[in-house]
Amino acid sequence: MPIFRTDLYITMRLSEFDLDQSSEILFQVLKGVSNLQNVHMTKVRHDREEQGKIRIEEWYEITGSINVPEGGKSFWALSKESSEKEPYHFFIRVDRNTDADDYETAQNKASEWVLNEFIKPLETRLNFVEKRISSPDKLSRTSEKLR
């Protein structure tokens, strides 16, 4: 069976978000996923001046590798305050290989894996207002429609 590279983007918005507590929950859930290795969390702080005032932005980044039989890749997660420009609290990019008969089946199989390994465990600990799994293919079709 052929192996396809599947690249997925997960966005989630919570009903109640606390940067430190919500990020820690995300980190603990990701550390508990058996196929993830080298899971690390880093708090990032960015200070910048806007109209004579210092604006401080903080967020968490969680990184690691994926160890699956088809050949592992990596994942990257971002936990931050929601904004108008980026209306989500968690953004996760999952890049892994998946065996299937065709690319669409591989993407669906990888989406199911993400749902079972990432989203369902998070749903037991956090309340989501919105969650979405997308692929570069779906995103490019959306942007084509917008043109």
Report the chain (147 residues): mean pLDDT per 10 consecutive residues. 90 95 96 92 87 85 91 90 93 92 92 91 93 72 38
pLDDT attached to residue 51: 81
Residue 60: phi and psi, rounded to 5, are: -115, 140
Tell me the H-state helices in 9-147.
19-31, 103-114, 120-123, 136-146
75's CB contacts (< 8 A; 6+ apart) are 30, 36, 63, 64, 65, 66, 92, 93, 94, 95
CA-wise closest residue to 113 among 130, 128, 133: 133
pLDDT attached to residue 137: 63
Q: Which fold has domain 3-140?
A: TATA-Binding Protein (3.30.310)
pLDDT attached to residue 138: 55
pLDDT attached to residue 56: 79
Question: What pairing do the DSSP bridges indicate for beta strands 128-134 and 3-14?
Answer: antiparallel
Residues 51-85 as b/e (b if ≥16 CB within 10 A, e otherwise) read eeeeeeeebbebebebeeebebbebebbbbeeeee
pLDDT attached to residue 68: 86
> Three-state SS for 9?
strand
In the chain, where the domains are located? 3-140
